A = this chain, B = another copy of it.
């Protein structure tokens, strides 16, 4: 079962530095069927329930041309996650693993990334499939899936580098 926010046997917490190196602005809110971590999927599926992403002003104009991509990368803020664990026990079985070897929501900067199928955009509302986050999760960013996006800017020197630098 997914944790609420307790520390489990074999997990290790650290005293984290203040999270003041940069600041985020919540640009929208995500609506999903999941009200609790006890029911949310461990990861999204592209045939999962339709979820809604509401984009706030002044960012709605930035949705222009998004509809031409049928898969988007969504970044969101896992607002209920603790941030201080370096070793975690996902199965709560006494065995632990490094946080960076997991896709757990518990991490120093709890940013979730999902790939979603875009169903429609109406005004400031996107309908998508593929999310796994809780209802009410703050939105951080939307961008085309890397595998279907072609850069529009002219080529740069670095585009062609393939060796030691």
Contact = CB atoms under 8 A, between A and B. Distances in A.
Interface of A: 1-2, 12, 14-27, 32-34, 38-43, 45, 47-50, 55, 58-59, 61-66, 68-69, 73, 75, 77, 79, 83, 85-87, 90-91, 97-104, 107-109, 111, 113, 115, 132, 138, 140-144, 146, 149, 151-159, 161-165
Contact of A66 (B24, B58, B90, B98): B98
B108 A59 contact: yes
Number of copies: 2
B158 A41 contact: yes
B22 A100 contact: no
B25 A16 contact: yes
Given A58-B15, A91-B153, A165 B50 contact: yes
A141 B19 CA distance: 13
A19 B24 contact: yes
A25 B21 contact: yes
B113 A156 contact: no
18 contacts: A2-B153, A21-B25, A21-B77, A22-B23, A22-B24, A32-B165, A38-B157, A43-B151, A43-B159, A45-B162, A49-B164, A50-B164, A59-B100, A62-B100, A62-B108, A101-B144, A102-B149, A107-B141
A50 B83 CA distance: 30
A21 B138 contact: yes
Contacts of A161: 33, 41, 48-49
Given A23-B24, A101-B65, A154-B91, A141 B111 contact: yes
A108 B25 contact: yes
